[in-house]
Amino acid sequence: QKEVEQDPGPLSVPEGAIVSLNCTYSNSAFQYFMWYRQYSRKGPELLMYTYSSGNKEDGRFTAQVDKSSKYISLFIRDSQPSDSATYLCAPVTGGGNKLTFGTGTQLKVEL
Amino acid sequence: DAGVTQSPTHLIKTRGQQVTLRCSPISGHKSVSWYQQVLGQGPQFIFQYYEKEERGRGNFPDRFSARQFPNYSSELNVNALLLGDSALYLCASSLRTVGGTEAFFGQGTRLTVV
């Protein structure tokens, strides 16, 4: 079993839709949770960074962590065609030295 | 402020050759990590360096090596290249070890081994 599981998609939604992107993980030591957005043939761009359980909002993006069920979510409100990219979750242990990435979910927002 | 810079952006090498990839972190960041991203997969951890010392190594063969210089820039070396080494190589910069702080990536070096 992989430490981080993520549905690879592709996920196709109409412009303006609410998008839910999810990851599950198995390592209880994960304490910090990052979400990256990666456009085709580019490096990952840090979107959000949360610590422990709870929600964090940043504009149209909301990150949610449920440590009891080892479930991570990223919600995108009012999705735009410019949101079309691959979204990667990457948890890390406290004081850890590496990000453990899921496979990424490919999102396409259509006009 | 300049972000993480990597060079070169693209590279084509022949099997058996050696390659050196370079990374300059964000100013003030003391940690550099290297990741390999094969097409259709998430990045896989190769190395982390912090304050010029190796702090972590992923499950990669000894053909992969790295170092960090006094100015905190870093090089990743891969010897005896295999076709399977073709990938996007990413450098990530952070203030300290990754747990507890944001990590920022460069645009990557796309290595093609023929």
What is each CA distance from B60 to A27, B36, B46, B66, in whole angstroms? 21, 10, 6, 12
Please calculate the CA angle A59-A24-B36 and round it to the nearest 5 degrees: 85
Q: Does residue A91 sit at the B interface (CB-CB below 8 Å)?
A: no
In the structure, what pLDDT confidence band is assigned to residue A95 with cuts at 50, 70 and 90?
A: confident
Residue in chain A lying closest to B10 (CA): A41
Give A30's pLDDT tier (boundaries 50, 70, 90).
very high
Q: What is the Cα–Cα distance from A14 to A47, expressed in whole angstroms?
A: 21
Q: Please list every residue in chain A whose beta carbon sits closer than 8 Å to the beta carbon of residue B66.
A: none
Q: Would you say residue A53 has pLDDT above 90?
A: no
Q: What is the pLDDT of residue A108?
A: 97
Which chain B residues have a beta carbon less than 8 Å from that of A45? 105
% of chain A surpassing 70 pLDDT:
100
**Which residues of chain B does A94 touch, with a Cβ-Cβ cutoff of 8 Å?**
99-100
Asked if the Cβ–Cβ distance from A98 to B98 is below 8 Å, we say yes
The residue among A43, A25, A65 whose CA lies nearest residue B108 is: A43
The mean per-residue pLDDT over the stretch A92-96 comes to 83
The shortest CB-CB distance from A98 to any of B40, B58, B88 is to: B58
Mean pLDDT (whole number) for A74-102: 93
- Check A43 against B90: CB less than 8 A apart: yes
Residue A1 in this model has a pLDDT that exceeds 80: no
- Smallest Cα distance from A4 to chain B, Å: 10
A110 is written with which tokens? 């259509």
The Cα A59–Cα A65 span in angstroms is: 18
The mean pLDDT of A89-96, rounded to a whole number, is 88
Q: Which of A43, A93, A100 sits opposite B106 (nearest CB)?
A: A43
Q: In terms of Cα–Cα distance, which of A85, A79, A76 is closest to A107? A: A85
Q: What is the pLDDT of residue B98?
A: 73
Q: Is the pLDDT of residue A82 over 90?
A: yes
* CB pair distance less than 8 Å for A97 and B110: no
Task: Provide the token pair at B17.
Answer: 């050759």
Using CA atoms, how far apart are residues A75 and A63, in angstroms rounded to an integer?
6
For residue A99, name the pLDDT band (cuts at 50, 70, 90).
very high
At A52, the pLDDT band (50, 70, 90 cuts) reads confident
Q: What is the pLDDT along chain B (114 residues), one digit of tens a residue?
A: 689 999 999 999 999 999 999 999 999 999 999 999 999 999 999 999 999 999 999 999 999 999 999 999 999 999 999 999 999 999 999 998 777 678 999 999 999 999
